[in-house]
Structures are given as C-alpha cells and as structure tokens.
Structure 1
Amino acid sequence: MGPAPAAPRGARNARWLPPLVSRVAALALVTVVVGLLPWLSGRDPALSVLRARSAEQEPTPEVLDAVREDLGLADGPVPMLARWFGGALRGDLGRSWVSDAPVLPGVASAMGVSLLLMAAALAVALATAAALCAPTLVRGARGTLRPGGSGSGALAATLTALPEFLVAVLLMVALSVWLGWLPPYGWQGPVHLVLPSLALGLPAGGLLGRLLDDALPAVLAERWVGLWAASGCSPGLVAAAALRRATPALIPQFGMVVVGLTGGAVAVETVFAVPGIGRTALGAAQSQDLPLLQGSVLGLVLLGTAAGTAAQAARRWLLGPGLRDAALALSPPPTAPAGPVRRTVPAVCAALLLTVSVWGLTRDAMTVRVAERLAAPSWAHPLGTDAVGRDVLARLGHGALATVGTAGLVCLVSLAVALLVGFLPVLSAGAAEMANALPPVIAGILVAAVAGPGPLGAAVAVALVSWPPLAAHTAALVQETRAAAYLTAQRALGSGPRWILLRHVLPSVLGPVTRNAVLRLPGTALALASLGFLGLGAQPPSAEWGLSLSESLPYVERAPLAALAPAAMLLLLAAFAVSSSTLPSRARPPRSPRRRTRASEARTPEGSPR
C-alpha cells in the first residue's frame, strides 16, 4: 500500500493555525490586562506609590498629583499602556514602586531560577511517568499484557490529584522537619533544589504516566506489534516503537502539563522560599507593586505560551513528514469492571469527610484562647489548637463549608457557562484556548490585583479557567447527538429546531456534562484551597482549609496536627476525586431506533406531519 497523499497546504494550515492564533490572542489579552492594572484595580496608583515610598507622608492632593506626574499617570490609561508596551518591546519594564529598582533585571533573575526549577521538575516528571508506565510497556512488548490491562493507574491518578502546595508541605514535614534529611527552605545550592523539584514534578509525572498508561494498551494491541515480535525484533525495540507511536497524540497534553508547571511554581516557590518568578509575582501582588507585578505576570504567561508552542512543534517533529497529516487518535483501553474495593474507597473517603465536617460544625471555631495556643490533643480539643488557641477540629468542620461549598458554586457556574458555550464551539474555541493557557494561580493573581484578595476573587479566578473542559465535552455531545439518525427522521417529520433542542439534544447533553462537573468538584475545591494557601482567597479569620494550612505551617514543629489536619482533609478530598473518577460509568443501553421513532412521533407537536 502506497503512502497516503499529503493534505493540501490550506488544510495543514487550518490545523496548526487556530491554536497558534489562540495563544497569541491569549498573550495579547493578558498583556493588555496587565498593562491596565493601575486602573483596573480600582485603587489610586499614586496613593500606593506614596505609601510604598514614604508611609508617614500625608497624602495631600498636591503630593498625589506630583506622584501622578512623575509616573505618567495623569495622561490616562491608553497613553500609559502604549508607553508601557513600547518599553516592554525595548526591554524596559519600568521601575519598582517599592524599591525603585529596574524591574527587568529582577524579573530576568527570577525567571532564571524558575527555569532551573522547572527543568529539574520536568526531569522528575519524566522519570516518574517512565516508572509508572514501565510495567505496561514491558508486558506489552513481551506479549503478556491482558486486554485492557494497565500498569499503575491508581498510583498515577493519586499523584495527579494532589496539588503542588500540598505535596510541598508533606515533603517539608516528612523529609525536613521529621527526618532532617534536606533543608526546608532557601536557595543556596543544589541540595535546595531537591524538595521543590519533587513537589512540582511528582503531580506532573503522575499525569504524564496516567496518559501514557492509558494510551499504551491500545498501541500494543495493534497488528504491527505481533508482526515485529514474530520477525524476531527484541522487546526493547518493540517498546521503543510503541512509545514513539503513542507519544505524538499526547504531546498537546504534555504541553498543558508544562504550562501547569508555571502555575504550580508559584505555590512551590512560596513554600520553600525560592526566589523565582512565581514568588516574585505573588509578593508584588500582595504589596501592590504594579510594575513588578506586570513584569512577573508577563514572564509567567510568556513561559506558558512558549511551552504550548514548543509542544505543538514537538508533535509535528515526532510525527515526521509522512504521518504529519494523519490522525493518530488512540482508542481508550477497555475499562475493567469495578470491584468491591474500588466501589468502597470513594464511600469511605466521603464518610470520613462528612463525619469530621459534621463533628467540627458542632464546635466553636472562632473563639481565640491565647492561653491554649498550640495545645496538644486532649478531650477538650481532640485535634489540638492552632497558633491563636482556636479548636482545630472546629476549624475543619467550618472550613468544609468555605472550601467545598464555594467549589460547588464554582462548578455550578462553570456548568452553566459550558452549556451555553458548548452549543457554539466555533465561537468559543479561541476563548477556551485562552482560558486553558492560564493556570488558576496566575488567574488568581490577576483577579486579586484587580479586586483584592478574597473568597469572591478566588471563586471568579477558578471559574474563569474551569469551564473549557466542560464546554469541550458539551460541544462533542451536541455534535454527536445532532448527527444521530433518529434526529434526521425528526427533521423529516417536520419537527422544529426548538423542539429538537429542548426534547432531544439538551436532555442527552445535560446528564453526562453534569456528572463531569460533579467529578470536578474536588479538583475545584483543591484549586480554591491553593489560592487560600497563597493568601489570594479567603482571608482571616475564615476557616478555609488552604488558609488554615498556611497559617499553621510556621508552627509545624511545635503543633504538627494543626498543619497536618487540614492537609489530611485535602488528601481525603483528592482520594475521593481519584476513586470517583476511576469508576466506570454505567451506560444505559440505547433504545432501538424503531422504539425511539415511535416515541418521537407520539411527541410530534401539533401542526407537523406525522
């Protein structure tokens, strides 16, 4: 069989041009938002500068006008945006409002630290992914892989569900505080790179390993594997070929993993006091140093855009000229039926979460008892007290409302947006790509810079980046349902578009997308907790789990339960997400076309032919 004819140049451009245009549009939009931060924040930039330079000086109108004239704020937002953008093109990002130092050298130095950390984390991620998919690859190359078999899917899914800030806290407590093997924070030598790279690379490696572990069985079941083995090819050669065959289809997901590293670096650098671009951006947002925040966010977005573009180029290179225009869609492996253990795990996690939450809700979470601060567990305080003497168990119960309750509202909003946007996939493709290009932490930094830190800003930030997967699911189901044969018969019988939409398309889409949104509830709660941990979400005295963990982390040596208790609740939430998402869905057998047609005819509106 000869090679397939190459696709026309216009068709090839139509495949790679939209993602590139979307990334450029996302970069341009974020650049404009960053450039307009002094006005979008709703606060007087001149007052912020005056307080940063001289906190004791009286903010009289004359002094504020002088500051505005010095910064060029008197001309308005559009001229200042043009000057800032022109300076950015020349390599001049202005001067810090706090230190009056040039922004570009500080951003470049922080970028170098973050690039080194991300490179080490990527190496950890690749090593973790290789270890996770190695059993599947070895058994498949030797011909001993059962149909639908896989390697370490549960372990990979568990690593994927853990947020980077939680992994960082657990590694610090275990390897630094308890065992004393590694330094807990700082950036003085290679040994300080170990813990941050592990915290950043293990969740990414779990995702990469899970993607490969799911794709390899379908590749190893193809006919060429048996032919190669019968021809005397070694298992190593077959495994390498299978890996090359499975990788190109997953490269876009790999690119999103690298983009996710830029968002995860913010939390990891904050936990381990790494002077990277993420910690710099967070510090600038908290101190209202808008020029430094503009440069830092621009650097983070450029990293994400470069990662996405490099992933697209790597995929085309791996495919080669012969397969560049071929579709490499890999069918998912058959899902094994869920055993009693797999069905029990989510129930146990949910029961533990509910029990602790209800028990904690019956206790006082706000009363401060300084005399009992950092107290050990007792009958009065089963999990001890925090740094100001508040009951830890009560904080867990009340924090469940703030964490999971807000996540439920975010999922509901994301579901509504996805249902609206999913019916117009052509118009929403660019917006979805732009939203995917921003990790929740970066969106949280931007929202906090505009509206200030708080639970509403954190919810808006997570909602802005959580709707694209649901919208993509909606669009796929809408396209599949509209192409069904029974709807063609409905149109031939005279049913109107509104009738078809409300009685057939929407019911077919609403159920699966709603279940998808519910499965994303724990992940949304973890994203909100990460923003709370960074100080971008709920503010004291809220009992939100991420904020409670952040407040108790400095006292982990004296009162470990105060920090480990909210971490354990987040771990249970992650375990519930993993165990629920790995359960196979029970698909109802479709009705026969004859029954469906008769039922449809019975519901034909008046005035249409039967």
Structure 2
Amino acid sequence: MSVTSAGAGAGAAAGVRPIRWRTGLGRLAAGAALLTAVALLPWLSGTDPALTVLRARSADQDPTPAQLAAVREQLGLDEGPFTHLAHWLGGLPRGEAGTSWVSGEEVLPQVTAAFAVSFTLMLGALVVTIAVAALVSARTLYRGSRRRLHRGRGTTGAAVLAALPKFLLASLLATVCGVWLGWFPSSGWEGPPSMVLPALALGVPSGAMIGGLLDQSLPAAFNEPWARTWQAYGFAPGHIARHALRRTLAGVLPQLLPTVVALVGGAVAVEKIFNIPGLGRLALDAAIAQDLPPLQTTTLALILLGITAGLFIQALRRALLGPALRDGALPALHAPALPRGRSARWVAGACAVSLLTLVIAGLLRDPLHVDTAARLLPPSAAHPLGTDSLGRDLLARLGHGALRTVGVALAVTAVSVVTGLLLAMAAQVGAGLTEVVSTLPAVLAGLLTTAVTGPSAWGAACAVCLVGWTPYAAQAAALLEQERASGHMLASISLGAGPGYLFRHHLLPAVLPAVLRNALLRLPTAVLVLASLGFLGLGEQPPTAEWGRLLSENQPYVELAPWTVLGPACALVLLSVLAVSGTATVTTATGQRLRRR
C-alpha cells in the first residue's frame, strides 16, 4: 500500500469516528425523547390516570373520590411523570422495571416472556419475508443475467401481495388452515406449529414489499457497464446474477429495519387474532390501561431491538459493498427505461376502469341508509357487493369512502417522503433518529397523538406521519451515501460545483425516483395502517365510510359473509396495481432526464 492511500485510509477512519459519535448521540437523544413521551401519556390523555387504572382493575364505572385518592397515593401520581420516569430508570441497572399498576406483578418477567414470543415469531416471519422476496424477484434476476429484461410482471404480483391486509390474511389463514382443515393451531402459542400461520400472515405482505423494491432495482444493476462487459466476455449468467444481487441488496437492506421492527411491535392485530402473548399486544393493553411501567419497559425493549437491528443491517450492507463505497468507485443505481409489455398496459387500464366504475356506482347510492332486514345479504342486483352487518350497501360505502381514503393516504405518504428526504440529508443525526423512531409501533404513536388531538382521521394521519417517514429516510440515506462516493460527483466538486448544483444535478436525480417508487408501492400500506388505527378507535369514527374501516368493521364476519371484506380488499389491490404502474412512468422520465444530462 502506498503512503498516499494509507494516509487517505487513516483520514477516512478519523472522519468516521465523529460521525459515529454523532449518530450515537442521535440515537440516545431520540430514545430519551420517545421514553419521555411515553411517560407523559397518562397526563396527556386528559383523563385521570387513577380512574383509568381503577377501571382496568375492577371495571368499576363510578368509583368514589376516596377510591381515586387511594389509587393516586398508592401509585404516587401526584408526584408527576418525570419523577416516575426517574424512579423507573433508576431501577433498570438493578434489573428492576417496577410493578404493574393494574395487576401488581413484576414487569420484567412479563416483558421478557412477551419479547421471547415476539422475537421467535419475528424470526419465522423473517424467513417467510426473505422467501417471498426471492420468489418475487427471481424472474427479473434470471432474465436480467441474460439481457432479456422486461417490465411489469413481478412488480405487479408483488403489489397484489403487498396490498393484502395482514389482519384480514390472518383471519383467512386461521379460518381455512386452522379451523376448517386443521393443519395448524388457530389460537394460542404452544410451540413451532403455532408459529406457522401468524408468520405467513406477517411475512407474505412484507416479503412482497421487499421483493417489489428488489425487482425494481435489479434492472439498473444489470444495465451498469460492468454487467454489460461481463456478458460480452461470456461470463456465466449465474455469476453475473450473484454480483448484481449483491449490488442491489445494498440499497434495499435499509428497508428491512422498519420491516423487522414492525414484525415485533406492529403485529398487534395478528397477535390478537391468533391470541399470541407477544410484545405488541402487551404494549397496546398497557397503553389502553395507562399502565405505565410495562409500557415504558416494552418501549425500551423495542428501542434496543431497533438499534441492534439497525447496526446489524448497516454492518451487513457495508460488507456487501466492500471497499467500493470507501474508495468512491460505486455510484448510485439509476433504473433504465425498460420496455413495458402490452399485457402490463392492459392490466393497468383494466384496473383503472374497474376502480373508477366501482367509485362512480357507489357515489350514486346512500352509504348511511340502514336496513336491519337486509343484514349480511350476499351480492345481488340490488346490492352488487352485498350488505354489512347493519344492512348498509357496501358498494355505496366503498364509493363514498374512496376520496377520503386515497386523499388521506396520499397526504400521509407525501409528508412522510418529504420528511424522510430532509432527515436523510442530515445523515449524522438522521441515522440514529431513524433507527429509534422505526421502533415505535403506529398503534402507540396513535395513542400518543390521540391523547393530544382526540380520535379523528387527521389525528390518525399525524400518527402515521410520525413513524411513516422512516423507510424513506433509510432508503434515501443509503442512496445518498453511494452517490456522494461516486466518481462523477467527486469530479464535479473538483471542477468547482456548489452545493445547489450538486443537489439538483446529482443527489436529487439519484435519490428521488427510487424513493417515489417505494412510496407508490407503500401507498396501500398507509391505507391499512390508518385502518388498524380506526379499528382500535383511534382514527376515523363511525359512521364515516372509509376503506380501512370497512375492512376492520367486517373482519369478524369473514367466515360467515366473506363478501363483506371482498369489495374493499379488491379496491386496495386495484389501487396498489395502479400505483405500481405509475412507477414505470417515474422511472422512464428520470432515465430520459439522466440521459439528456
């Protein structure tokens, strides 16, 4: 090694240390802020914490002032939230996390047992996620290694799978595979067989999401000069495919962080359906009862899990990139403009026409008309999509809920994308903040937001925005890191290019198309998260018609009247396919702009 390269390596190592220290401080500050917000939850809710705890203990709806005063004195509620937080933090070094305000039991054994269950379930769901992602991207990987790329098939299938609501998929699996066929247990946690159905319910949509992103990124890797050169020299297709996959995984790996944490803390609905005593369910029950010690301990466990997963993913990503990232030889991937098949255009057009027809037909009907004599009727000429449990026409509710559903989801996605891009620019602080905030389940964020704003559609939207920016920030930070190390950007800097020029002509074109593709693929996910908050009473309130609420309201009737969820589920799938078809337009326009530049 030459003196120059050795000096450069030493300088790079010295420059990395301050960045790591700042990132660590960002993690510490974000974790402290999150724990403080959780500690304030009982006092932010506007209700007496003693009243909530007493009702959780005995279900007494009219406690006497003497009973409330006794609970306040027992729990020390008059001391305020910060004193409680200090006492709880002081007990952690001694292995003490306090006792539950509701049950009076030690918190640490409860959280440890729940974490073990959720971690085991997460590993199973992660295996399913990786398997589904591999299946979704296998066709593009095979054809790309032979220079026969084509757009519009694998990603469309991924969009359909990613649009499946996890709680709806869990209900179907529990009913069909658990109750009807008896293949696996449909309730409880009694060993490995109990893990199969919930792991499928969690892993299939998550794997489709990751596989769709990988499927969209692979053509750019196969279009790079090294891949074309290797193919011209006759390298084996399998050899080229392995290196293209390694090249692409580096940009997709950051998306695993929110996925991994969501498989633990965000699996509340699936845990409730399968009656699994997991960490997400424990956090939700504690938050609803305002039982602060288990809620704080659960939040801390999720934060530590997120930070550990973030560090592991970062190390794995750097191992995949190797010295190329450090030496500035690895530019960001720019997706080429690929030909779109005629079948893909026909599918996109059919989805658009079908969705528009459903919405217009529904707008011509009354969504609030109740007919108790027509409860749970199957589809007919009078009710093309059937009726719900109150006898309301499902087509009418689907049509009237379209504008609100898509509008709120688009607004949430836009705010999340902008927030993620801005925080990705501040890499030294954004990395730690992303890891910590991604550990916050949307349900817990909804409880914190509802405590201030009250239950409403826009309160739920704010809750999703609080946590929804993390996938885009992780992806944008990874792409920015590659672009800043690329040779053409270093050449522009050496020629005197300023920050504004670099941002407009290098950073933004390298990052924005990929983030927009990710956002479009995640659009139905935003709808489903809003639906889960509405299902728990934290979002859209009845009798408002909204797609997510239609799913959550009719989910108990899946076995008796499956048509009650078929309409909104199909509408979500149609919306997801349309969103994916829009990514082709984004990729093509960006590719043309890059070629002109």
Class of the TM-score when normalised by the shorter of the 2 chains: 0.7 to 0.9
Q: Is the 8 A contact 2:53 2:289 kept in 1?
A: no
**Range moving further from structure 2, 236-245 or 180-189:** 236-245
Matches within 5 A, 1:192-203: 192-203=194-205
Among 568, 586, 589, the residue aligned to 2:589 = 586
2:554 — aligned with what?
552
- Once residues 240 and 224 of structure 1 are traced to their aligned partners in structure 2, the CA distance between those partners, rounded to angstroms, is 11
1:99 — aligned with what?
103
Among 2, 8, 16, the residue aligned to 1:12 = 16
- Once residues 310 and 76 of structure 1 are traced to their aligned partners in structure 2, the CA distance between those partners, rounded to angstroms, is 38
Q: Is the 8 A contact 1:23 1:437 kept in 2?
A: no
Q: Which protein shows a greater Rg?
A: 1
1:573 — aligned with what?
575
- Once residues 276 and 463 of structure 1 are traced to their aligned partners in structure 2, the CA distance between those partners, rounded to angstroms, is 25
Give the residue type in structure 1 aligned to 2:528.
Answer: L
Tell me, what secondary structure is at the counterpart of 1:254? helix
Matches within 5 A, 1:62-141: 62-138=66-142
- Once residues 521 and 55 of structure 1 are traced to their aligned partners in structure 2, the CA distance between those partners, rounded to angstroms, is 40
Tell me, what secondary structure is at the counterpart of 2:263? helix
2:391 — aligned with what?
389
Query: CA, structure 1 residues 542+22, in 2 after alignment: closer, same or farther (shift >3 Å)?
Result: same
Among 311, 335, 338, the residue aligned to 2:337 = 335
Q: Is the 8 A contact 2:254 2:471 kept in 1?
A: no
Post-superposition shift, 1:48? 1.1
Post-superposition shift, 1:381? 2.5
**Range moving further from structure 2, 563-572 or 340-349:** 340-349
Give the residue type in structure 2 aligned to 1:547.
Answer: R
Q: Is the 8 A contact 1:364 1:394 kept in 2?
A: yes
Post-superposition shift, 1:114? 0.7
The C-alpha deviation readout for 1:188-211, integer Å capped at 9, x for no partner, is: 343322121112112332244344
Q: Is the 8 A contact 1:262 1:303 kept in 2?
A: no
Matches within 5 A, 1:31-430: 31-56=35-60, 58-138=62-142, 144-146=146-148, 152-172=154-174, 175-176=177-178, 181-214=183-216, 216=218, 218=221, 223=226, 243-244=245-246, 246-317=248-319, 325-327=326-328, 328-411=330-413, 413-414=415-416
State the TM-score, normalized to the length of structure 2: 0.80
- Bigger relative contact order, structure 1 or 2 (CA pairs below 8 A, ≥6 apart): 2
Post-superposition shift, 1:564? 2.1
Post-superposition shift, 1:368? 3.4
Post-superposition shift, 1:347? 3.7
**Range moving further from structure 2, 22-31 or 181-190:** 181-190
The C-alpha deviation readout for 1:457-485, integer Å capped at 9, x for no partner, is: 21111122334677887997xx99x9999
- Once residues 99 and 454 of structure 2 are traced to their aligned partners in structure 1, the CA distance between those partners, rounded to angstroms, is 22
Q: Is the 8 A contact 1:136 1:145 kept in 2?
A: no
Give the residue type in structure 2 aligned to 1:309.
Answer: L
1:532 — aligned with what?
534
Structure 1 residue ranges without an equivalent (≥5) = 492-496, 594-610
Percent of aligned positions that are identical = 48
After superposition, the CA RMSD in angstroms is 4.8
Query: CA, structure 1 residues 22+378, in 2 after alignment: closer, same or farther (shift >3 Å)?
Result: same
Q: Is the 8 A contact 2:152 2:340 kept in 1?
A: no
- Once residues 508 and 212 of structure 1 are traced to their aligned partners in structure 2, the CA distance between those partners, rounded to angstroms, is 19
Post-superposition shift, 1:115? 0.8
Q: Is the 8 A contact 2:534 2:549 kept in 1?
A: yes
**Range moving further from structure 2, 17-26 or 368-377:** 17-26
The C-alpha deviation readout for 1:1-49, integer Å capped at 9, x for no partner, is: 9896462322232554454443333322212212222222222111112
- Once residues 304 and 504 of structure 1 are traced to their aligned partners in structure 2, the CA distance between those partners, rounded to angstroms, is 34
Post-superposition shift, 1:266? 2.3
- Once residues 413 and 232 of structure 2 are traced to their aligned partners in structure 1, the CA distance between those partners, rounded to angstroms, is 48
2:565 — aligned with what?
563
